[in-house]
Structure 1
Amino acid sequence: MSGILDSVDQRTQLVGQNRFELLLFRLGRHQLFAINVFKVKEVLKLPRLNAIPNSHPVVIGVANMRGQTVPVIDLSAAIGMRPTEITETAHMIVTEYNGTVQGFLVSDVERILNLDWSDVMPPPVTAGRAHYLTAITRLEDNRLVEIVDVEKVLAEVSPYTTEITPGLIEDEVLAIAQSCEVMVVDDSQTARDQVHSTLSNLGIQIYEAVNGTDALQQLRAFAEHTDGSLSDRFLMVITDAEMPEMDGYRLTTEIRADDRLKDLYIVLHTSLSGSFNHAMVEKVGCNDFLPKFESDRLAKLVKDRIKVVYNL
């Protein structure tokens, strides 16, 4: 697959324009799936694997890549399908999520697809694998492409904690937090649950949206029934970057263009690389960036924001 991930700078220019690129791959003979190219570090033929005793059932081994040990997950098995048959077309997609590197075994890799987020829709509620999908789209030949909720897969392989370290939040901040409201925008149910569970420990009122379009509609509806600036009501909006219909960058741009919403404090919450997102935060007008998923770091960001707003 030499060259499939070239021109990263060119792809970077798509971000902020509600555009992105998917890496298409197959699980089994015919079914097409995808993940965002920005999560992918490398694509290569399945290398020799070493077994890991007592590992999760979907972790089929580890690969040694230039001195780095990379766990390899059978993605088909991880989302409830048949385990992948290892053939000459099998590939490993090396990804970086939430600061960790892992490989995904897939049956074959097809190509990169350039899309507008408006062409990507949430999966239908009747979809059998909707539990492990964040979105779907169709190719020119009408083939369905299912976008995998990798965050859910990784959360099941390596369970996360939403507990906050005792003593991290002072009593005066905690008392104020219980009257605060936050909107969480993410197409991954797992990601929304992570934030919701952590902030619930602080007693914060949480509203959820599944993508930028949903969030914008909700915020505008709130503005219609709120006296004064909506920023006086919401402590912050925490938004993912990659979402169907409208991504987090475009959402931020739309919020800044609306006089009723423009003063909202917006935090970009994503598993994409930190250095890239710090640049995008400045470009589109977010207030802060938070990598997924660290409960203490999320709690500290909320604490610091409360201290600023309430002059503590």
Structure 2
Amino acid sequence: MSGVMHNVDQRTQMVGQNRLEMLLFRLASKQVYGINVFKVKEVLPCPRLTSMPKSKAVVRGVSHIRGGTTPILDLGLAIGLKPLEKVEEAFVIVTEYNGKTQGFLVNSVDRIVNMKWEDILPPPKGSGHAHYLTAVTRLDEQLVEIIDVEKILAEVSPVNEEVGAGVITDEARAAAVSLKVLICDDSRIARKQIERCVQQIGIETVTLEDGKQAWDHLQAMLSEGKDPLQEYAMLISDIEMPEMDGYTLTTRVRDDPQLRGLHIILHTSLSGVFNQNMVRKVGADEFQAKFHPDELAQKVIDRILSMGGIVPALEE
């Protein structure tokens, strides 16, 4: 397994080129799943687990890993499959999301593959909202499903979505009048969290599901003679998204003379110095780790106050 994870740090250098590397794994069947290597800290045979009283069934226990206590989640059970039976033969993918470390119990781990984000597509239309997928792709004539980990974590340990008392001032609410924010995230849960945060300030939102949709939306506005900089106070975008990631979206916006002034916050569950360096490299205005409603709200408020709240909404 050490061979699978060897030189993961070097592999993340492709971020910003609309590429990623996925760690492929299986749960209780032949179906293949994928997770971005950049979120994987390590992969190891399932360690000894200690049960946690009154915890949800999906939390199979906790384990002492590298000096810390890490919760271990049964990933199959979390997405509606049967619980993993032979735990002693399973593997744990230790990940970091939103600054928190957790392990996902899986049946087997396969390999790391190099992919283009443009080859990774949203779930099929008509699949509803009950599924746990953010994207799908094909590899070696087989469907690979990418799980919405943020949805799982929100169900296991819900986050507070309310902006704290005193963060949103009367001045901020007054400045928010007639402003809009464009939100772009492939996770439905994440979109709802951001939308709720921004709307608490009093700002109207428009939500899209990936970078390509956002880019096409902005280009369509320009072709219709509209000015996105007059309609939107900012763009809040995820980084990891099918078809076009947030880094590529930001780069394209900055390369377009009509769009380059758009204020961009990259809002992501990715963390670390490398990611913040990439944010600066592609020209985003700010970086915000998910999900801290007070911090995100404050960034939005600072932006609208700097504008004076005078950007008019376009006529419907």
2:313 matched residue in structure 1:
none
Q: What is the CA distance between 1:223 and its match in structure 2?
A: 2.6
1:35 matched residue in structure 2:
35
- Alpha-carbon distance in structure 2 between the residues aligned to 1:47 and 1:175: 54
1:270-312 alpha-carbon deviations (Å, 9 max, x no partner): 0111422210111111111000001101100011111222199
- Alpha-carbon distance in structure 1 between the residues aligned to 2:205 and 2:255: 24
1:63 matched residue in structure 2:
63
- Alpha-carbon distance in structure 2 between the residues aligned to 1:108 and 1:96: 19
CA change 1:85–1:129 in 2 (3 A) is farther
- Alpha-carbon distance in structure 1 between the residues aligned to 2:89 and 2:110: 10
Matched to 1:97, the amino acid is Y
Matched to 1:26, the amino acid is R
Are residue 260 (structure 1) and residue 258 (structure 2) matched? Answer: yes
2:181 matched residue in structure 1:
182
CA change 1:89–1:137 in 2 (3 A) is farther
- Alpha-carbon distance in structure 1 between the residues aligned to 2:186 and 2:210: 6
1:211 matched residue in structure 2:
210
CA change 1:224–1:239 in 2 (3 A) is same
Q: For the Cα contact (< 8 Å) 1:173–1:307, is it kept in 2?
A: yes
CA change 1:56–1:226 in 2 (3 A) is farther
1:170 matched residue in structure 2:
169
1:65-86 alpha-carbon deviations (Å, 9 max, x no partner): 1321000100000011111122
* % identical equivalent positions: 52
1:233 matched residue in structure 2:
231
Q: For the Cα contact (< 8 Å) 2:174–2:309, is it kept in 1?
A: no
Q: What is the CA distance between 1:128 and its match in structure 2?
A: 8.0
Matched to 1:42, the amino acid is E
Q: What is the CA distance between 1:200 and its match in structure 2?
A: 1.4
Q: What is the CA distance between 1:35 and its match in structure 2?
A: 0.8
CA change 1:126–1:90 in 2 (3 A) is farther
2:6 matched residue in structure 1:
6
- Alpha-carbon distance in structure 1 between the residues aligned to 2:9 and 2:72: 28
1:102 matched residue in structure 2:
102
Matched to 1:166, the amino acid is A
From 270, 277, 281, the equivalent of 1:283 is 281
1:19 matched residue in structure 2:
19
- Alpha-carbon distance in structure 2 between the residues aligned to 1:81 and 1:264: 43
- Alpha-carbon distance in structure 2 between the residues aligned to 1:256 and 1:176: 26
Q: For the Cα contact (< 8 Å) 1:185–1:192, is it kept in 2?
A: yes
2:297 matched residue in structure 1:
299
2:221 matched residue in structure 1:
222
Q: For the Cα contact (< 8 Å) 2:46–2:87, is it kept in 1?
A: no
Query: How large is the RMSD of aligned CA atoms in angstroms?
Result: 1.7
- Alpha-carbon distance in structure 2 between the residues aligned to 1:58 and 1:181: 39
- Alpha-carbon distance in structure 1 between the residues aligned to 2:261 and 2:126: 39
**Unaligned residue ranges in structure 1 (runs of 5+):** none
1:310 matched residue in structure 2:
308
* Mapping of residues 40-51 of structure 1, within 5 Å: 40-51=40-51
2:194 matched residue in structure 1:
195
Q: What is the CA distance between 1:224 and its match in structure 2?
A: 3.4
The 3-state SS of whatever aligns with 2:4 is coil
**Unaligned residue ranges in structure 2 (runs of 5+):** 311-316
1:111 matched residue in structure 2:
111
Q: What is the CA distance between 1:88 and its match in structure 2?
A: 5.3
- Alpha-carbon distance in structure 2 between the residues aligned to 1:143 and 1:119: 13
Q: For the Cα contact (< 8 Å) 1:274–1:291, is it kept in 2?
A: no
Q: What is the CA distance between 1:173 and its match in structure 2?
A: 1.2
TM-score, normalisation: structure 1: 0.95
Matched to 2:180, the amino acid is E
1:165-193 alpha-carbon deviations (Å, 9 max, x no partner): 11112201111213211111111101101
1:103-155 alpha-carbon deviations (Å, 9 max, x no partner): 00001101111100011011113448962000001112x11110000000000
Matched to 2:207, the amino acid is E
